[in-house]
Amino acid sequence: MIGALFALAAFGMALVWGVMNVINITQGEFVVLGGYVAVLLAENGIHPFYAILVAPILLYGIGWFFYQTIIKRVVDRDLFTSLLATFGISILLQQLMNQVFGADIRRAAHGYGTWGFFDGLVTVEQVKLLAAVAAIALGGVLVLFLKKSRLGQAIRATAQNARAARIMGIDTDKVYAATYSLNAAICGAAGAMVAMIWVVEPYIGLVYTIRAFMIAIIAGLGNLSGVVVAGLGLGVAENFAGFILGAEYQIAFVFGLLVVILVGRSYLLGRKREYLK
Amino acid sequence: MNTTDRPVLLYGGILMVGIFLPLAFPAFQTQIAMMWMMITFALTWDILGGRMGYNSFGNIVFFGVGMYAAASIQHELYFDIGQFEVISNQFNLQLTPEKYVFGLGLGMIVGAILCVVMAWVMGLGILGLRGQYFAICTLGLGVAVGEFAGSIDYIGAGSGMAAPVFPLAMGSAGLFFSYFFFILVVATFFSLKWLYSTRFGLALNAIRDDEDKAEAMGLHTTRYKTVAWCVAAFFLSFAGAGFGHLNGFIDPLDVAFPGATFGVWMVLMAILGGKGTLWGPVVGAVVFHVTQEFFWSTLLGWQRVALGLLIVIVVVFFPLGIMGWAKERWPERFGHKIEESPS
Amino acid sequence: MSMLLEVEGVSKSFGGVVANRDISIEVPEGKIIGLIGPNGSGKTTLFNSIVGYHPLDVGSIRFQGREISNLLVPQIARLGMLRTFQQTRIYGKMTCVQNMQISMPHRQSGFSQMFAKYPKEVTEKAESLLEFVGLFSKRHLMAGDLSFGQQKLLEFAMALMNDPKLLLLDEPTAGINPTLINGLIDRLKRANAEFGITLLVIEHNMRVIMNLAEHIYCLAHGEMLAEGMPADIQNDQRVIDAYLGAH
């Protein structure tokens, strides 16, 4: 169930990557920001579930802002420049959040209980179930949007061939802006749910970025169902690792897994004399 | 100015600075030591990042491993571990100057060997990755190693460990390490200067400009990539050993493997100064270090925000860096010819 | 007459597309052999297969009698077989002389060789080869600053620098000013005659390949269509049809 949120973030990352050829390291920070929205709402007496609507809107604006100021200028340059630029933004946001919100962990109180089955052997937190449902609903809306709406189709066209899209009259700049902002919004929604299920703190963003990246490369950029499966798989794997190795190893596990996946992939491709592009 | 005189004046001047600066400003000795260390960071990053085109976010692992190796050797040599099972941060080892220096020296050698072997082994799997995958993989590596170190009890786990106390008889730790890091940075600089003047330098550049072409021309790309990383690892391990002892306290995530600070700054400094040039990393590191100290004293908590902003600005608006910009502006002065040279 | 390169029954597909089907060619030592065919007939794929850029599906490739289809690109290059690229690849941020120096053969390079400086002879050879292709006055310029045609010449010079036994040239005259083509043909012939380098050339320019090659293979739709001497190929109805049909 946790994996559904990872899958959301991964989907957004794959979207930006596929359309604009930018690997958005800031992904995790957008998630955390969404989380803080939920926290702030909860602390001001509004039920954090509304954050699932509010956070995306706010994050859309934030994403749009960063696109216009920074991302726009690095889209056409080499991948490392855009990587470093988004990395810089992520550090900027991390430190900003640290200054504004403080370094303590925060969570959004939701007041949901748990359901017990089989006399308490299996417990399901209501909030997790609700979040999973919300994530699926959101995913469904996204897929529909991309398939049916004009902007969605423009996005897909640009992802396939930016030059052709431009010739057809699509304003690629607007598409890029929309894609990036949309991605930020997706992260915001996911983040709101994260704040309710776990905690947020300023430096937790990088782990989410790496998770999204891993899922995106395992599933492949265009493959939505792959993203979902990989996301769920990662969620399960992480839980498992945390259970077996102990909670303090969980973060090391995620990053270690990244290294293993990349090296493994590279080796397998190498046997065909190709390499990861 | 005669071009053959210039280097001598320049080097002589820097030598004077290295010797007298920490004596003139005793209160800033630690900062001076760190400035030389930062230059070493930038120079070692530039080997892979600037010269070879492989942007590593994980060089910090060599820094941390060197640090822990040296401190551990110090403890192992002079203390019977059997009595205490772990080197905890409650324990402060007091040594005589001879023992301290010997232990540090041996520890650094062990650390350097360890780091070179690490680079070689990691290179087997990771140097096969290209471009952004290499960058992200090394990023993951840096964090993974740091987190992992935080769980090893032998070196104090999450609470860290204390390095041996700097012997009072040796005077000020700041002064000692100012000279230590100065010697290190000079050794690094001249080693790299020599290295880049050989085939090695051209090979790295060829890999950067077009790795497929280099392979198609029969270049032993794997060999060169691995050696390059080993060289970077070598010098970084000394830096780590020194810093651990200067700092007195080694914490896995904040001191030994600080990916978010030193790890990122390595990249930033080299780009700021101009990657791929010899003096670029030097200039970039000095400018950055001074700026950072300035931010720290004026902006306090917001200094990190300002640094994040700096990364973005440099990368987006100033990617050539200081030396790169200078080369574009005055190409002839840097030996870059734009006119033909008939026989 | 020994065969320097033997390609036997080579097939290669990408996904569902068959790029090469059962191709066999022979390149005798010291000759200039041509490879022609309309766009999309699989010529560059065949080149890529020969130099080890990807593994073969079926078939065998032997260089100097030795099976090379399981070797990697750098290994094959070090055996003495090089290729030039259609899009022309050089090292943009290095000077022409440096491009040449790094193109020295790497065959005997041991570990200690990595750290040696280039002896004077290497630089002299580099400069004389640059002279050979007419780039001597530009030798200290950045390779990336050269025009496309000049880069092509540089790439050719770099290949010569590497002392290859066999050079695979992928459309060496593409994009070159027609007035300079004769000069290039002349240099290719001289490289073959004076330096003893065997050439296998992909060309679209009929005039060039008929002038240059001693034996020509024609591919179409991934298969071998015809082979023979230039005069025969020129008049071969199948070849004419293939080209006309492709337009």
pLDDT for res C247: 47
Buried b vs exposed e over B150-175: b needs ≥16 C-beta within 10 Å?
beeeebbbeebbbbbebbeeeeebbb
**Chain B residue set in contact with C, beta carbons under 8 Å:** 195, 197-200, 202-203, 205-206, 208-210, 212-221, 223-224, 227, 276, 336-338, 340-343
Instruction: Say whether pLDDT at B102 is over 60.
Output: yes
Percent of chain B predicted with pLDDT > 70: 90
Nearest to A19 by CA among A90, A67, A66, A84: A67
pLDDT of B81 higher than 70: no
Residue A115: count other Cβ atoms within 10 Å of its Cβ: 11
CATH fold of B6-258: ABC transporter involved in vitamin B12 uptake, BtuC (1.10.3470)
The verdict on a CB contact (< 8 Å) between C107 and B218 is yes
Asked whether residue B1 carries a pLDDT value surpassing 50, the answer given is no
Encode chain C in three state secondary structure.
CCEEEEEEEEEEEECCEEEEEEEEEEEECCCEEEEECCCCCCHHHHHHHHHCCCCCCEEEEEECCEECCCCCHHHHHHHCEEECCCCCCCCCCCEHHHHHHCCCCCCCCCCHHHHCCCCHHHHHHHHHHHHHHCCHHHCCEEHHHCCHHHHHHHHHHHHHHCCCCEEEEECCCCCCCHHHHHHHHHHHHHHHHHCCCEEEEECCCHHHHHHHCCEEEEEECCEEEEEECHHHHHHCHHHHHHHHHHC
Q: How far apart are CA A246 and CA A85, in angstroms?
A: 35
CB contact under 8 A, C52 and A274: no
Q: What is the bridge-based pairing of β-strands A114-117 and A122-125?
A: antiparallel
Which chain A residues contact residue C55 at CB under 8 A?
272-273
Q: C77 and B217: CB-CB below 8 Å?
A: yes
Q: Which chains touch B (3 or more CB pairs under 8 A)?
A: A, C
The Cα of B283 is separated from the nearest Cα of chain C by a number of Å equal to 22
pLDDT at B88: 55
Could you tell me which residues of chain A have a Cβ less than 8 Å from any Cβ in chain B?
23, 70, 73-74, 77, 79-81, 83-85, 87-89, 91-96, 98-99, 203, 206, 210, 213, 248-249, 251-252, 255-256, 258-259, 262-263, 266-267, 270, 275-277
Q: What integer pLDDT is reported at residue B83 of this predicted model?
A: 45
ipTM over 0.85? The verdict is: yes
Residue B4's pLDDT band, with cuts at 50, 70 and 90, is low
Cross-chain residue pair C94–B210, CB shorter than 8 Å: no
* Mean pLDDT of all residues belonging to chain B: 86
Instruction: Locate the domains of chain C by residue range.
Output: 1-80+164-247, 90-163
**Is the pLDDT confidence value at A125 over 80?**
no
Say yes or no for a CB contact (<8 Å) between C139 and B341: yes
Number of H helices, E strands in chain A: 12, 2
Give the tens place of pLDDT for each residue, B66-75.
999 998 888 7
Look up the CATH architecture of domain C1-80+164-247: 3-Layer(aba) Sandwich (3.40)
Interface with B, mutate which of C71, C115, C156 (most B CBs under 10 A): C115
Report whether pLDDT(A147) > 90: no
Chain A residue with CA closest to C74: the answer is A273
pLDDT of residue B236: 96
Q: Cα distance from C120 to chain B (closest Cα, Å)?
A: 13
Which residue from C192, C184, C103 is spatially nearest to C143, judged by alpha carbons?
C103
Question: Is the CB of A89 less than 8 angstroms away from the CB of B312?
Answer: yes
Q: Are residues A259 and B135, on separate chains, in Cβ contact within 8 Å?
A: no
pLDDT at B148: 86
**Alpha-carbon separation of residue C23 from B166, B255, C59, C70 (angstroms):** 74, 61, 8, 17
Predicted pLDDT of residue C152: 92
pLDDT of residue B84: 47
Is A274 in Cβ contact with C53 (below 8 Å)? no
Task: Specify which of A38-47, A260-269, B234-243 reaches the highest per-range mean pLDDT.
Answer: B234-243
Inter-residue contact B76 to B197 (CB < 8 Å)? no
- Work out the pLDDT band at A112, boundaries 50, 70, 90: low
What is the reported pLDDT for B2?
A: 47
- State the average pLDDT over residues A128-132: 79
CA-derived radius of gyration, chain C = 18
Question: Chain B closest CA to A270's CA: distance in Å?
Answer: 8
Residue C36: exposed, middle, or buried by beta-carbon count in 10 A (0-12, 13-18, 19+)?
buried
Question: What's the confidence (pLDDT) of residue B182?
Answer: 94
B204 CA: distance to closest CA in chain A (Å): 18
Q: What is the pLDDT of residue B200?
A: 94
Q: For B201-235, how does the pLDDT look when each residue is reduced to its tens digit (9 = 90+)? A: 999 999 999 999 999 999 999 999 999 999 999 99
pLDDT tens for B330-342 read: 887 776 776 676 6
Phi-psi region of A117 (alpha: psi -120 to 50; beta: other; left: phi over 0): beta
- Say whether C114 and B227 touch across the interface (CB within 8 A): yes
Confidence of residue A114 (pLDDT cuts 50, 70, 90): low
Cβ–Cβ below 8 Å for B216 and C94: no
- Of B4-8, B242-246, C48-52, the one with minimum mean pLDDT is B4-8
Residue B343 has a pLDDT of: 58
Reading the block at residue C23, the tokens are 């191709």
Q: In a mutagenesis test of the B interface, which of A92, A206, A268, A274 is the best target, namely the one with the most B β-carbons within 10 Å?
A: A92
The chain C residue lying nearest A273, using CA atoms, is: C54
Burial of C71 (0-12, 13-18, 19+ CB in 10 A): middle
Please tell me which residue of chain B has the smallest CA distance to A253.
B144
Q: What percent of chain A lies above the pLDDT cut of 90? A: 23
Helix (H) / strand (E) containing B161 = strand B161-162
Name the minimum distance, in Å, from the CA of C217 to any CA of chain B.
24
Q: What is the pLDDT along chain C (247 residues), one digit of tens a residue?
A: 688 999 999 999 998 899 999 999 999 999 999 999 988 889 999 999 999 999 999 999 999 999 999 999 999 999 999 999 988 999 999 999 999 999 998 887 677 788 888 899 999 999 999 999 999 999 999 999 999 989 999 999 999 999 999 999 999 988 888 888 888 899 999 999 999 999 999 998 888 998 899 999 999 999 999 999 998 888 888 888 888 765 4
Instruction: Write down the domain spans for chain B.
Output: 6-258
- List, edge to edge, every strand of the sheet that includes C81-83: C81-83, C166-170, C198-202, C32-36, C215-220, C223-228
For residues A241 and A250, give the distance between their C-alpha atoms in angstroms, rounded to a whole number: 7
